[in-house]
Every structure is written in C-alpha cells, then in structure tokens.
Amino acid sequence: MLALLSVSDKRGLVPFAQGLVGLGYRLLSTGGTLEALKGAGIAATQVSEHTHSPEILGGRVKTLHPRIHGGILGRLELEADREEMKAHGIEPISLVAVNLYPFRQTVASGAAEAEVIEQIDIGGPAMVRASAKNFRHVTIVVDPDDYPAVLAEMEQQKSVGEATRRKLMRKAFAHTAAYDASISAWLSAEAGEPFPGELSLSFRKAQDLRYGENPHQRGAFYREHSAPSEPTVGFARVLQGKELSYNNILDLDAALGLVLEFPEHPAAVIIKHNTPCGVAVDDSLVKAYRTARAVDEISAFGGIVAFNREVDEATAQAMAETFLEAVIAPSYSQAALQVLAAKKNLRLLEAGAALASPTARPRAQLDGRSVSGGLLLMDRDAVEPELSWKVVSKRAPTPDEERALRFAWKVCKHVKSNAIVFASGSQLLAQGGGQTNRVDSVRIAMQRGGQALQGAAVASDAFFPFRDGLDEAARAGATCVIQPGGSVRDAEVISAADEHGMAMVVTGVRHFRH
C-alpha cells in the first residue's frame, strides 16, 4: 500500500507517518516533508524516484505526473483501469495527506508580489482534488487534526470506512475552494478592485451555535482564516462565561464598533438588541461605565458592554451590580477577573491591546448582507470621510456645543434609521431610531431623556424632510443640531433653527443604518 505525504503544515506529521508505516504503508514524499520524515528516521521514497522523472523548474513540477495522478485517480473497480495502470507500471495510492503552500501567511507577512505568487500551489490542489474525486478508493487528509482519528479507524477496521472518506472528501474540496478564494481576494485587492465580477468568500467555522436568532433557527459562527491587526469579535479570547449566542456575537460587534469611535478617552458602551442604550467617556473607566449605565438603567439590564481600556477592579465591581450578558475589553486586571468570576454566566472577551490604543479606529472592511437570491456588499461605514462641516444657521455653535455635536454624530452612525441622538460632550443622553418617520424618533428620544435633554446637542443620521422634527427637538431642549443637509426644504429647516436660536451644522454625509 502506498501513501503520499506532502504537507506545508507539519503538525502531527511524524506520529502519523509512523502509524502508517506500522500499518504496512510505504511512503512517498517531497521536499521539506521528506526531510522531516528522514530526520525522524522514517523511510520514505522521493516522488522523483517513484516517477522516474526529476523535479524541474525549481520544484514547480514534481507531482504532476501520470504515476502520481494515475495512482490516485485509478478506478480500481474497473478492469480497464486496472489493466491500463498495470501496463504503465502505475501503483495505486490509497492515502494522500496534503495541505497547501502557506499563501495566506505569506500575504500577511507583507511579502513582495513575486514571493506571494510562488506560494500559489499547483500540484497540491491537483492532488487534493484528484484524491477527493476518487474518494471511493483514496483517503484524502488535508487537516492534521484528523490524523489521530484516521489512524485509529485504520487500526480498528484495517481500512478507512466510506462515511469517513466522504467526510474527508467534503473537507478537501472546501480546503481547495477556500485556498482559491484567498488567492482571488488577494488579486482583487492588489488590483484595487473591491467588487470583482466573481466573488468567492472563505471563512473557517469557529463554532456551532445552540441556535440562531431564535431557538427554531440553526446557527454557526464563521471567522476569517487569520487574525487581522485590528481588534475584532471573531478573534477575541473568551475568558469565562456561557457559550456565546448568535445575538451575543451581533451585539458584541455593534458594541466594539461604537467604542472604537472614542479612542482618545476611556469609554464605555452598552448595547441592547444591536442599539446603543448607554455611551460615555470620562477620565476613568468606572466613571464612564456608571455614566453610560445611568442613561437607561432599565435597558442596560441584560446588556452587552464594550470598553476601550483595561477593566480594573473598580469597574468590575460596578458591572457586578447589574446583570449583563457579555463584556468585551482590551484586557482585565487580575483583581477584576476575581470580582467577575462570581458571575459565572457572564461572558468575558479579551480583544487585545490594539483596542486600548489612542489611535485605534474601526476596521475598514466590507459589509455583506444576504437577500433572497443574492448578496449585498458595501464598504463598512467605519471611517468618517473628511468633513467640511458648514454652519448654516445665524448662530455658530459654542466650543462646548461643538464637542457635543461631534459626540452625538459619532453615536448617531450606530443607531438604526431614522436615527436621532441627543448628547452632551461626553455622553449619550437619549436616542430614538428604527422608526418609519423622523418625528417619531425625536419623540421617542424625548420620552426617554426628559429634562436631561435641556441644553443638549441633537444629531440626525439624514436630513430633516420637514421642520417638524427640528421643532420637536427644540421643544425637548436641544440648543444645537447636526445633520447631513440636502433636503429640498433645507431653507425651511434652517429658518426653524434660527427661530429657535439653535446652531445648525450640516456635514454632507449621511449615516443610514438599516
């Protein structure tokens, strides 16, 4: 029996090869894999000796040979194939362990184009696909984590059963598909083409979820193949708590995206059902958290919290006062972890030092959303375009009002449309969103904020189509307003602001969030 081993990822290679030899396999191998086997004292034959053809073109061509692919693809149930293989001296290969050149790692290292292109594997995918196609006769192993199970089954049953071979076949085709997708994505990025004519997506399953958004829906969580330099939910380390749910992950991502808007100061964000219900910055994290929680204590119950500084003991003690679902932060002090350990179901995620950087920013990437029969893709609304804010009212905002407007504008981007946000220079005061008209959003925010809105700044994610929304904001106590502008009734709305003595700034940028 012949087995061909040619792997980039050499985890578990030696014990796997030793197990195969113990089961009576003869090994074929190439390059670094062959060296690793011989270095461990394991006998293996170089592929060029088996094919009687030298490796050529600097190793670019070595396994692309009839004695390799004929040995893999032979349909042993067909007499014609067996006779043809015999006539050409082709021996069947019954197990292939191959994983591909480290293309993604090479790209991530910042290597030059020529080096990256050399890491586009040709022979490897050909062998993987051939083995998977002929799974009835060939066991294809692309993941070193599968070595122990394959060996155990072979030892127990003297062969690999069809159910396992089918499972490995599916995994093999997914492996090559993901590999090709990563090459395609890199080429598109190099060409400055974010929306190519053909789009291939590649993600690795991180975990199965107990269910999706509701218990009757199935769910799973997939993440990218390698961690980006920016903080992400996908690669945050879970320190304690119950298994993350579908809704937890959505809300954690929303919380992380919003807290990244305030890198200069300690900030706390509380999210409920993908909507901000508390946002504040302060000179200490515990103050920021207590202020954020005070915005809407009722909604904060069962909320998701994000911080942009290490959680200390004081902040942990403040969090322990309220039932929370999950927290994401750069890190946690040992004292904080001891406090929160009593909350055994509380999920704690550590996103890493990048989240605490004063220069941290939301990740600029693409956002996708599935629709029936298709996929919508766009740039993430992460980085604010260069703004030329224009004062259009008779009165310009004061310095304090300008700080409040900037705070409100950052939060407004994260509230569902039609979004209305009332804020001071350091905290969210009230928000209204997800309504079919802007006036209702203003009224919802007024109901929530009450007297706290006196002297507030108000932000609107899109223009006021009529003056009624602005009139309501003024009635609530707002003294200044920021909005994109662009309505056919802008003059009417600006006139209303002047009537109320409000300062109005237009940005020229809309922040719809559906």
Mean of the per-residue pLDDT values of the chain: 92
> Superfamily assignment of 390-506 in CATH?
AICAR transformylase, duplication domain (3.40.140.20)
Residue 384 has pLDDT above 90, yes or no: no
Q: What is the pLDDT of residue 387?
A: 60
User: CA–CA separation, 92 vs 146, rounded Å?
Assistant: 22
Topology (CATH level 3) of domain 233-356: Cytidine Deaminase; domain 2 (3.40.140)
Inter-residue contact 497 to 503 (CB < 8 Å): yes
Residue 382 has pLDDT above 80, yes or no: no
Residue 6: phi, psi to the nearest 5? Answer: -150, 95
Question: 399, 413, 405: which is closest to 497 by C-alpha?
Answer: 405
Q: Please, what is the angle between helix 13-22 and helix 147-157, to 10°?
A: 10
Q: Specify the 3-state DSSP secondary structure of 221.
A: strand
Catalytic residue ranges: 133, 273
Number of Cβ within 10 Å of residue 25's Cβ equals: 17
CA atoms within 13 A on the CB side of 486: 11
User: CA–CA separation, 175 vs 361, rounded Å?
Assistant: 32
Residue 138 has pLDDT above 90, yes or no: yes
Domains 233-356 and 390-506 share a fold: yes
Q: 61 pairs with which residues across the strands?
A: 56
Number of Cβ within 10 Å of residue 124's Cβ equals: 22
Assign domain 2-191 one CATH number from 3.40.50.2000, 3.40.50.300, 3.40.50.1380, 1.20.1250.20.
3.40.50.1380
Residue 241 has pLDDT above 90, yes or no: yes
Quick one: how far is CA 32 from the chain centroid? 33
Beta strand 275-281 with 267-272 is: antiparallel
Q: What is the pLDDT of residue 259?
A: 96
- Tokens representing 499 are 């009537």
The domain ranges of the chain are 2-191, 233-356, 390-506
At residue 444 the predicted structure's pLDDT band, cuts being 50, 70 and 90, is very high
Across 24-28, average pLDDT? 92
User: CA–CA separation, 327 vs 306, rounded Å?
Assistant: 6
Query: Which class for 363: exposed (0-12), middle (13-18), buried (19 or more C-beta within 10 A)?
Result: middle
Q: 310-352, pLDDT tens digit by residue? A: 999 999 999 999 999 999 999 999 999 999 999 999 999 999 9
Q: 77-117, pLDDT tens digit by residue? A: 888 988 889 999 889 999 999 988 888 888 888 888 888 88
Residue 429: phi, psi to the nearest 5? Answer: -105, -40
